[in-house]
Amino acid sequence: MGFRRALLAAIVSTGVAAAPAAADGLSWEACPSARGLDPRQQCASLTVPRDYAEPNGPTIEIAVSRIATATPALRRGVLLRNPGGPGSQGLIGPSRFAAALPREVLDRYDLIGFDPRGIGRSAPASCALAPADLDPVKFIPYPAYDLDITANVDYARRAASGCAATSGTLLPYISTANTARDMDRIRAALGESSISYVGYSYGTYLGAVYTTLFPQRTDRFVLDSNIHPDRIWRETFSSWGYAVELAFDGFARFAAERHATYGLGATPAAVHAKVLELAREMEREPYDLGGGYTLDGNRFRELIRNDVLRNDRSFPAAGDLLKLFDAREPRAAAAARGAQLLEQVGAAFPPVPGDNEFAGAWAVACGDADWPSSPAVYQRDVIAYDALFPIHGRAAANVWPCAFWPAEPREPAVRVGRLSSGRALIVQSLRDPATPLDGAVALRLRLGSRSKLVTVEDGAHSVAFNGINSCANAHAATFLATGALPAQDAWCARDAPLGAAGADARGGVAQHDDELGLLPLG
């Protein structure tokens, strides 16, 4: 183990892993059909080492996509994108960005997407999960209502065993560092001396790892909704406990100020207590909304975390939804209205995620860093976190398959370093339920003077070019188009007061269409 880690470090430090720029060696063709695919998007496949410590050993294929700029005379280079996760596909990324980016950015870049290794069409991992195991409230490990984690431990062991049996030869090589190395191979195949990049959530850590491993290949990086660089990975997920409480405070204040409208409580503390009361009621009697969508206590908590708090603009619909749940009407009569409100907060009848999404997320989270192996550690923390952070702490501190993962990390998690070339714009909302503000502050301090932080008043996860905040969009667009960072760290006020008429709960182009929406996991 020590020899392999030393060898990998030597590869990076001597530049062997930084493939030289070359003529475009990718064979572009039509992409597989997909919802939202721009007809201009092309796809290709790039061969890379499975193990960068053995560059002449077995290989895997990385799926790459592009939309070339329509104005070659203004072209600066390439703009890569990662939507988050881990576990999220990125091949559709150029189509997403072509609809979201302003003209001054589209003129300057070819838009490049890719499925990270282990995900989508890039050597996809599998854990052979049964349909019943493809459940977001199993992936996000909510314990039993009495906080017992026996079922979670059983699920984690079973998942880890399935991953080993199905993808055991691939798992040791799925990591953020290797994905960053793949990005540099993409750069070289495109014939570019450097890359620009936009990464959301998990993509911020991936981008920061790239700037550390390949500083001279770094151009303009936008990092939005930021992973704390020193919390890889269990600490990132356990931080959701307090992140959700901080984000919920925004909704609690909103609802308390409108107690006459929603009746959820006249103070933020009363609104908080009401939501916990509703969760306990759904533990006793799940709420059937029809169409196969049933809210029990755990799904209700996950609805709060992953949908109500993802964007402040959902607050009016969320207030109506919680009022409906609290009204104690006959549930059949309330089902249609409840389903409509769920759609307004972006949570109506979510598709069942695929085995690969779970497997890809676990492979990265378990492949980057060690996790505790004792179930007793997780049981202790679940009880403690539930007392401190009662909305989501019980799930945030719970066990993952990483506790029983069949492959140890092959190298330490990359310690993000100071930018020595290129620049970075860090964008972060004030109340992000998945990647709290302290992570962005830590990343800003770590990257140093070649970076600036833009803090956005809204509560949201994934801000720039996502219909959330025009000020943040302007900062990001100016930076990508011209290279100009704010003179100092900046503040962006929200575009309109909460609850303003015409506010769209889901913003503009949804960056989460190709995410499981775990952050989180990004």
What amino acid positions are annotated as catalytic residues?
A: 201, 432, 461
Q: Please report the beta strands in 326-468, taking only residues with DSSP state E, as ranges in sequence order.
A: 423-429, 451-456
Q: Cα separation of 422 and 113, whole Å?
A: 20
Residues whose CB is less than 8 angstroms from the CB of residue 449 and which lie 6 or more positions away in sequence, other chains included = none
> Residue 326 class from Cβ within 10 Å (0-12 exposed, 13-18 middle, 19+ buried)?
middle
- In 3D space, the residue among 27, 324, 368, 65 whose CA is nearest the CA of residue 230 turns out to be 368
Q: Helix (H) and strand (E) counts for the chain?
A: 19, 12
User: How many residues make up the chain in this entry?
Assistant: 522
The answer to whether residues 359 and 120 touch, using CB atoms and an 8 Å cutoff, is: no
* The amino acid at 332: A
Q: What residues form DSSP beta bridges with 365?
A: none
Three-state secondary structure call for residue 300: helix
Q: Cα separation of 315 and 330, whole Å?
A: 24
| Residue found by looking up tokens 């103070």 in the block | 267
Q: What residues form DSSP beta bridges with 49?
A: 59
The secondary element (H helix, E strand) that includes residue 119 is: none
Q: Please report the beta strands in 442-518, taking only residues with DSSP state E, as ranges in sequence order.
A: 451-456, 490-492
The answer to whether residues 189 and 48 touch, using CB atoms and an 8 Å cutoff, is: no
Q: What residues form DSSP beta bridges with 295?
A: 287
**What's the distance, CA 306 to chain centroid?**
11
